[in-house]
Structure formats: structure tokens, C-alpha cells
């Protein structure tokens, strides 16, 4: 009989939403720009065509939609002032959602109107399995990107896979969710076909999903602040270990994840003889200097990574601890016991309530 993981779909969607490119973080210096152009739908009417970034393909691929799309007029023309920094990736579709075109728009492209040339959409079917453990792969949120560009939306798997309506072109799907090691799938949707079978995706359960109550394997790190760069996870045994998984391109991590962990540390100073805290950064940064340089350029920074009251370690590019452990969500808290066994996982508030009963 198949076992079924308990997935936190809302958290996975939040994690995907925050997975913005490191060199183009949200917020900060974005300025209002006029985005204008037209939609060419061939012999079909362009009236009511929709242009948007955050499309959502739910269990019914035909009923995909976007929040607050830009809507073209009777002649297919559109314009809207919106915050802009560097580039954005749009999907434009006709009113019936049967024609579409994706396009990356750079800031320099805004000097003149852009044209979306719609083509017939293709029903793309992706088979999603878990051969290793026989687990259900339903309910997984999947990031949908134009290959070489950014996200145009998210889809959700049902048992057996995922079905999307997409215009011809290259795509990348990102499977990142608590309980699974991350996977990417690239494919090119051909034109003039009603359906296309994309390559199968076989997912692997993460260690956090499979090893509750068991000893976690040694971590892999590239650098550290407050610990030797070759520090071993095993060297921290003897105390409980609270690990915050985070990334510098995550506004929630910068805005409340790390600051709340500092407050937690200060509020529970009496626990620190029995509890070690470590902030574990993903592999977006290659070194402590790289991390410092990036954080120093962020407008929302109210803390200094060199002044944190706990160590910061940086994930190795490969093998990656974040990929193997599979938090899937940033920020995310993991608690190991004094023997290195996985004791709990979730939010800081949940872990705090648990420790209040055991360390008081």
C-alpha cells in the first residue's frame, strides 16, 4: 500500500513565490514604468486578451487564470503603469484561453510598444512519479517558467501528474516542496500539435520527510561565519541544534525570519547552554563575502550578518544539504536532539512551544 506524505501546499506556493532571482530581488528600487503594446491573435479577435505574470493552473488545466491581468481593448491594445526593475516575464492569452504567447520584457524594451503574437495553445502532460518510495505525488505546487527567463505561474499536480495549457516554446518546471528533494524539468513544446507529452519527472522524498526520529547525515557547507568553514554537524552534538534554513533572496527571511530568530535567541538566553542555533543559508551564496556583498545592497536590511548572535553556514554547491534535506520553504526551522536525530520541524513558534516544555 502506498504511503502518503502530508503536504503543506500553501507553504509550498509561498516558497515558490519567493523564489526570485538573486540578482533581481523584489522591492527596493523598483520604479513605475509604462508597459504598453498590443496583442496579435491572427484571425481571432484580440479583444479581452489578458497579459499577466502570476498564472495559476489548478487541477483543471482549462481553467487557468491570473489575478488582476492587464486586459486588452477591442483592438488588442493595452497599457499600464507598474513597478518595474530590470525585467518581467509575461504570458498573454486570448479571451477564450486557447491562444497564447510568452515573452520576457526587459526595462529597455519599454521604450516602445511590445507585441504579443499569439499561437494555438498545446495541452502539455507531465507524468510525475515517486518510484523510490511509492509515495503519492498529488498536491505538489510546481513553478512554471519560460526556459531562460522567469516564472509565469504555478501549477498543481494531481495523482499521476500535471496538465498545462501552454503556447509553443521552451519551458522549465520547478518542483520544490516540503517533503521532496527539488527537481527541474526542461522541455520544448512544439507548434501545431493539440497535445504534447513532456518527459516524465520522478521525485525523491527528502530526508526531512523520511528520517523523523533518526540521525541526520553529515551536512555539506562551503563557508561559515562564527564556525570553522570545515565545521562538522557531528561536532555540535551534546546540545539540541536548531537550524533555520534561509536564503538571501527571500524577503521574508531578511524581514522577519532572521530578526525573529535573534529575538528568540535573546529571549531564551538561559537555554543556550543546552541549545545551539545555526542559520543555514542555501547555495545561492558561494562564500561569506558573497553573502555580505549581496545583503549590503538590499534596501530592507536592518541587521548585519556579521553581528548575529549565532553562526551562519553556507550550503555547498554539491552535494547540497538543502536539496538533500528538502525544507522546501524559506524560512524553515529544524530541530535535532543532542544525538543528532531529527526531533521536530516547522515554524519557529511551533519549535519554541516544544522547547518551553522541555528546557524550562
Tell me, yes or no, whether 273 and 173 share the same domain: no
Number of domains in the chain: 2
For 212-251, b/e burial (b = at least 16 CB within 10 A) is eeeebeebbbbbbbbbeeebebeebbebbbbbbbbbbbbb
Q: Residue 294 belongs to a domain with what CATH number?
A: 3.40.30.10
Angle (CA) 123 128 130, round 5° = 175
Q: pLDDT tens digits for 207-227?
A: 998 999 999 999 999 999 999
Tell me, yes or no, whether 169 and 196 share the same domain: yes
The pLDDT of residue 178 is: 84
Instruction: Reduce the DSSP state of residue 97 to 3 states and report it.
Output: coil
Tell me, yes or no, whether 159 and 227 share the same domain: no
Given a contact cutoff of 8 angstroms between Cβ atoms, the answer to whether 144 and 124 are in contact is: no
Alpha-carbon distances of 215 from 218, 334, 349, rounded to whole Å: 9, 13, 23
The pLDDT of residue 31 is: 83
Tell me, yes or no, whether 78 and 94 share the same domain: yes
- Extract the C-alpha cell encoding 138: 498529488
Tell me, yes or no, whether 227 and 338 share the same domain: yes
**Residue 105 φ then ψ, to 5°:** -115, 115
Tell me, yes or no, whether 211 and 318 share the same domain: yes
Paired residues of 187 in beta bridges? 171
Q: At which of 166, 182, 205 does a domain end?
A: 205
Tell me, yes or no, whether 21 and 153 share the same domain: yes
Cα atoms in the Cβ-side hemisphere of radius 13 Å centred on 10: 0
Q: At which of 205, 236, 266 does a domain end?
A: 205
Of the candidates 243, 225, 248, 247, the one whose C-alpha atom is nearest the C-alpha of residue 233 is 243
pTM to 2 decimal places: 0.77
Q: At which of 183, 205, 227 does a domain end?
A: 205
Tell me, yes or no, whether 159 and 235 share the same domain: no
pLDDT per residue, tens digit, the chain (360 aa), is: 333 333 333 333 334 434 433 433 444 456 899 999 999 999 999 999 999 999 998 767 788 999 999 999 999 999 999 999 889 999 999 999 999 999 999 999 999 999 999 999 999 999 999 998 888 999 998 999 999 999 999 999 998 899 999 999 999 999 988 889 889 999 999 999 999 999 999 999 999 989 999 999 999 999 999 999 999 999 999 999 999 999 998 999 999 999 999 999 999 999 999 999 999 999 999 999 999 999 999 888 999 999 999 999 999 998 999 999 999 889 999 999 999 999 999 899 999 999 998 887
The pLDDT of residue 29 is: 53
Q: Residue 112 belongs to a domain with what CATH number?
A: 2.60.40.10
Q: Determine the structural domain holding residue 51 and report its residue range.
A: 1-205
Tell me, yes or no, whether 37 and 74 share the same domain: yes
How is 209-237 classified by DSSP, letter by letter?
Answer: HH-BTSBPPPP-EEEEESS-TT--GGGGT
Given a contact cutoff of 8 angstroms between Cβ atoms, the answer to whether 210 and 316 are in contact is: no
Q: pLDDT tens digits for 235-277?
A: 999 999 999 999 998 999 999 999 999 999 999 999 999 999 9
Strand order in the sheet with 114-117: 77-84, 31-40, 114-117
Q: What is the dihedral of CA 178, 184, 185, 188, to 10 degrees?
A: 130
**Residue 127 φ then ψ, to 5°:** -85, 125
Q: How many residues in total does the chain contain? A: 360
Tell me, yes or no, whether 179 and 236 share the same domain: no
CA distance linking residue 196 with residue 95, whole number of Å: 23
Contacts of 84 (CB under 8 A, 6+ apart): 30, 31, 32, 33, 35, 107, 110
Tell me, yes or no, whether 354 and 272 share the same domain: yes
The pLDDT of residue 59 is: 61
Tell me, yes or no, whether 215 and 347 share the same domain: yes
Alpha-carbon distances of 190 from 94, 119, 277, 293, rounded to whole Å: 19, 11, 50, 42
- Extract the C-alpha cell encoding 39: 496583442
Amino acid at each position: 500500500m502506498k504511503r502518503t506524505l502530508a503536504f503543506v501546499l500553501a507553504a509550498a506556493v509561498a516558497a515558490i513565490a519567493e523564489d526570485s532571482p538573486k540578482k533581481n530581488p523584489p522591492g527596493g528600487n523598483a520604479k513605475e514604468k509604462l508597459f504598453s503594446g498590443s496583442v496579435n491573435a491572427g484571425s481571432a479577435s484580440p479583444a479581452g486578451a489578458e497579459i499577466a505574470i502570476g498564472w495559476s493552473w489548478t487541477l483543471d488545466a482549462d481553467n487557468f487564470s491570473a489575478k488582476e491581468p492587464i486586459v486588452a481593448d477591442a483592438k488588442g491594445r493595452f497599457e499600464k503603469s507598474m513597478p518595474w526593475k530590470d525585467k518581467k516575464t509575461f504570458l498573454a492569452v486570448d479571451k477564450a484561453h486557447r491562444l497564447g504567447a510568452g515573452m520576457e520584457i526587459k526595462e529597455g524594451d519599454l521604450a516602445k510598444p511590445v507585441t504579443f503574437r499569439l499561437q494555438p495553445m498545446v495541452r502539455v502532460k507531465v507524468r510525475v512519479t515517486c518510484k523510490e518510495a511509492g509515495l503519492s505525488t498529488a498536491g505538489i505546487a510546481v513553478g512554471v517558467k519560460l526556459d531562460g527567463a522567469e516564472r509565469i505561474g504555478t501549477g498543481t499536480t494531481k495523482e499521476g501528474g500535471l496538465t498545462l495549457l501552454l503556447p509553443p516554446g521552451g519551458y522549465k518546471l520547478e518542483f520544490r516542496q516540503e517533503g521532496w528533494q527539488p527537481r527541474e524539468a526542461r522541455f520544448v513544446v512544439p507548434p501545431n500539435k493539440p497535445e504534447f507529452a513532456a518527459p516524465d519527472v520522478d521525485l525523491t522524498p527528502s530526508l526531512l520527510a523520511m528520517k523523523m526520529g533518526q540521525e541526520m547525515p553529515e551536512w555539506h557547507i562551503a563557508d561559515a561565519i562564527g564556525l570553522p568553514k570545515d565545521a562538522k554537524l557531528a561536532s555540535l552534538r551534546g546540545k539540541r541544534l536548531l537550524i533555520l534554513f534561509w536564503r538571501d533572496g527571500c524577503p521574508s527571511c531578511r524581514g522577519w525570519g532572521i530578526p525573529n530568530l535573534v529575538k528568540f535567541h535573546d529571549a531564551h538566553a538561559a537555554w543556550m547552554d543546552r541549545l545551539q542555533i545555526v542559520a543555514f543559508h542555501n547555495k545561492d551564496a558561494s562564500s561569506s563575502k558573497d553573502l555580505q556583498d549581496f545583503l549590503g545592497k538590499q534596501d530592507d536590511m536592518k541587521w548585519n550578518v556579521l553581528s548575529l548572535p549565532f553562526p551562519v553556514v553556507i550550503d555547498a554547491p554539491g552535494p547540497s544539504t538543502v536539496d538533500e534535506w528538502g525544507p522546501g520553504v524559506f524560512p524553515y526551522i529544524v530541530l535535532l536532539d543532542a544525538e543528532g536525530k531529527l526531533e521536530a520541524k516547522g515554524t519557529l513558534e511551533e519549535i519554541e512551544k516544544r522547547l518551553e516544555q522541555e528546557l524550562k
